[in-house]
Structure 1
Amino acid sequence: MFQRLALTALHRWGEKEGRKPLVLRGARQVGKTTLVKLFAREFDVFIELNLEEKENARLFVWEVSFDDLLAGIYAKAGVRMENKRTLIFIDEIQNEPEAVRSLRYFYEKRPDLHVIAAGSLLESLVGNHISFPVGRVEYMALHPCTFTEFLGALGENVLVEQIERLTVPQSVHSYVMDLFRKYMIVGGLPEAVANYAKYKDWVRLNDIFNSLIAGYKDDIEKYAKKNKEQDILRYILNYGWGLAGQRFQFAKFAGSSYKSSEMGMPLGFWRKRFYWNLFIL
């Protein structure tokens, strides 16, 4: 795994006084889990709870004291409760509302523990179906890889330093622009960036991109409950790509029969939830 700039932000969060549990937000496949695991290398104890696993989610369901819950978390991880620097990572936290509520008690009763929560559906559920404890958590947004992160993955560390200092020699301008064009094709998904950095093969990226689209299609029903909205979201996924970089109208989007009022929410959904710039550039 190549270095992410967001790791520096995690370091600042981990070292500051009055630290609160951190809610890590971001689109699917931008590397939230991998980033936390990189950060975890600096801790004596790392406990990961993926709440897609029912036995992990059940820890938060029982009506027990916070101390009992914490003891259960350590026991489930097979770790002794000792005075060591500890990071607890609650992944897919949206699967259990009681886990969301428990974050306030981590802040109030065990501020010495480092707690990070994340979830693949948070961008669509926060504010509608999930309410995090006000004033007891803080947020960090993780975005797709930047151009300099892409260069770092390729081993172009000198160029990264020059770009950050705005001292890139004119003699390598064409070379840097060629790398930027490659970055625009590969995109910012960490898995795609790492794959291209290793193999330099465009064709190998197809499986990664197809897998991502399949994942979005499988999750449609989680993001939109109404059948009409689900149909429109699927239509955008299937036919919206052809309008990338072009001006378009909401009405009859991509040759559809949908009205402007019907397209507004789904198109805004893709832009805001997944940081896509495929349609509006």
Structure 2
Amino acid sequence: MKRFIYATLLEWKERRNHKPVIIEGIRQCGKTWILKHFGEAEFKDVAYFNFEYDNRLQKIFEDDLNVSRIIKDLGILRNKHIQPGNTILILDEIQTCPRAITSLKYFCENLPELHVAAAGSLLGVAVAQMDQNISFPVGKVQMLRMYPLSFAEYLLAKGEDLLYDHLRNISPDEKISGAFTGRLKEAYNEYLITGGMPEVVKSWVNNHDIEIVEEIQSEILSNYEKDFVKYASVSEFPKLSLIWHAIPAQLAKDNQKFIFAHVKQGSRARDLEDSLQWLISAGLIHKIEKISRPYIPVTTYADVTYFKIYFSDVGLLRRMSKFPADVVFDKSPLTADMRGILTENFVLTELIANGSGTPFFWKSKGIAEVDYIIQNSVDVIPVEVKSAKMTRSRSLAEYRKKYTPRIAVRTSLNNITHHSDEYGEILEIPLYLLWRLKAYL
């Protein structure tokens, strides 16, 4: 399964002054697999250690953090020397051992010739909870974020390598041939069903059995809730669970603003905001804040009290919502709202995974609302999302009249087009080509 983060790891390996690298991301998004795969392909030896499975590892980091002693002890533990230059040292689930996190500073300073790679599923939560006497190695590590498979990676997983290469190299002025749009729309609808969790995608590609897909998705969701019990405090668990299960219903409201009182009657923000931040730090959800005006820098104009919450994976949102897979392709008005929510979640994860950062959204004092606002250098770009082929958009029109952005983006199932009027330029880009947005911009 091809993952684009591999190229980044290859650059890290070849860099003369490389630091230890930490890959963070939600559980089961492929962190362990990519590190092992990369290690086996690019190094003579892989020294893999998992802090969750081997309690002996904690003891190696309990005393001093002398890295020469640590690699000697780790070598004894696996009965094979660790050799800088030949061996990659992989420390998996490092969030369970804060002192191992701290040790990365000394690996950077005292043994830079050794390639050290760490992975952590709940690293953001672990760092926030670290003892004051244990420090995070700021500036001494290279942080990488891994996500579920993007749509482009999904195409490759399906064996659509030639189609992917064609789309990657297509001219910005060239429409996608009708010979390919049917396949792309079908793959897009499949992705709304499966999402990008590697085990789910692998099962679907190999078996095309939706029942097995949904069993795997349910197991992943269950495992996340087990993490609530394992890594959160006893008092925090019920609040985490309440927020987690409330997200689909919050998105289904006409006003999708996340309201704490709707999670549990009588709840206030101060009762639940720490639990919400736990889920954000764990990478399980994305928080999208409203901006009052689209000026630079956009972050300055964000309203931290007015936001929406989406899932980190569209397939898991569909499964959590109990939205049947067979109606994803259905164009019935009865399913339009949920298809719209899934499309919004898809666009969000595509924007984040492909380097646009976490976007914002804009809402006027009236009822006009633009789904996403991204900053691309000096351009603040509105992105309007449509789940089908409709292109009429009163909200985007109002935004463009008010702020006249140099370029605006509308994404739907229409083919790619580009035109201008007195309010600026509009790029119409298909949902299944959104991964190329930055190149088009």
Which residue is 1:194 aligned to? 202
The answer as to 2:269 corresponding to 1:270 is no
- What TM-score comes out, normalization by structure 2 length? 0.58
Match 1:230 to one of 232, 237, 245: 237
- Seen in structure 2, the aligned counterparts of structure 1 residues 261 and 170 have a Cα distance that, compared at 3 Å, is farther
The answer as to 2:145 corresponding to 1:136 is no
Contact 1:13 1:19 in 2 (8 A): yes
Q: Distance in 1 between matches of 2:82 and 2:263?
A: 57
Which residue is 1:154 aligned to? 158
Which residue is 1:50 aligned to? 50
Match 2:185 to one of 177, 184, 190: 177
Which residue is 2:248 aligned to? 241
Mapping of residues 249-268 of structure 1, within 5 Å: 249-253=258-262, 256-268=265-277
Contact 1:27 1:123 in 2 (8 A): no
- Seen in structure 2, the aligned counterparts of structure 1 residues 242 and 83 have a Cα distance that, compared at 3 Å, is closer
Shift of 1:44: 0.6
Q: Which residue identity does 1:230 align to in structure 2?
A: F
Which residue is 2:26 aligned to? 27
Shift of 1:183: 0.7
- Seen in structure 2, the aligned counterparts of structure 1 residues 105 and 190 have a Cα distance that, compared at 3 Å, is same
Structure 2 residue runs of 5 or longer lacking an equivalent are 286-309, 312-316, 318-340, 345-441
What's the RMSD between the two structures over aligned residues? 2.4
Q: Which residue identity does 2:218 align to in structure 1?
A: N
Which residue is 2:169 aligned to? 165
Shift of 1:30: 0.9
Q: Deviations over 1:47-66 (max 9, x none)?
A: 01111211122111134743
The answer as to 2:81 corresponding to 1:80 is yes
- Seen in structure 2, the aligned counterparts of structure 1 residues 74 and 234 have a Cα distance that, compared at 3 Å, is same
Q: Deviations over 1:215-250 (max 9, x none)?
A: 1111214554361x4212112333433444542441
Q: Deviations over 1:250-275 (max 9, x none)?
A: 14325744334434443454345325
Greater relative contact order (CA < 8 Å, ≥ 6 in sequence): 1
Q: Which residue identity does 1:88 align to in structure 2?
A: L
Q: Deviations over 1:94-127 (max 9, x none)?
A: 2222212221221122211110111222022224
Which residue is 1:204 aligned to? 212
- Partner of 2:243, secondary structure, is helix
Q: Distance in 2 between matches of 1:65 and 1:248?
A: 50
Which residue is 1:115 aligned to? 116
- Partner of 2:282, secondary structure, is helix
Report which stretch shifted further, 81-90 or 153-162.
81-90
Q: Distance in 1 between matches of 2:144 and 2:220?
A: 23
Higher strand share: 2
- What TM-score comes out, normalization by structure 1 length? 0.89
- Seen in structure 2, the aligned counterparts of structure 1 residues 251 and 21 have a Cα distance that, compared at 3 Å, is closer
Same amino acid, percent of matched pairs: 27
Shift of 1:186: 0.4
- Seen in structure 2, the aligned counterparts of structure 1 residues 230 and 154 have a Cα distance that, compared at 3 Å, is same
Contact 1:28 1:274 in 2 (8 A): no
- Seen in structure 2, the aligned counterparts of structure 1 residues 123 and 97 have a Cα distance that, compared at 3 Å, is closer
Number of residue equivalences: 279
Contact 2:156 2:164 in 1 (8 A): yes
Report which stretch shifted further, 105-114 or 35-44.
105-114
Which residue is 1:5 aligned to? 4
- Seen in structure 2, the aligned counterparts of structure 1 residues 64 and 209 have a Cα distance that, compared at 3 Å, is closer
Which residue is 1:59 aligned to? 60
- Partner of 1:252, secondary structure, is helix
Q: Runs of at least 4 residues of structure 1 off by over 6 A?
A: none
Q: Distance in 2 between matches of 1:221 and 1:210?
A: 17
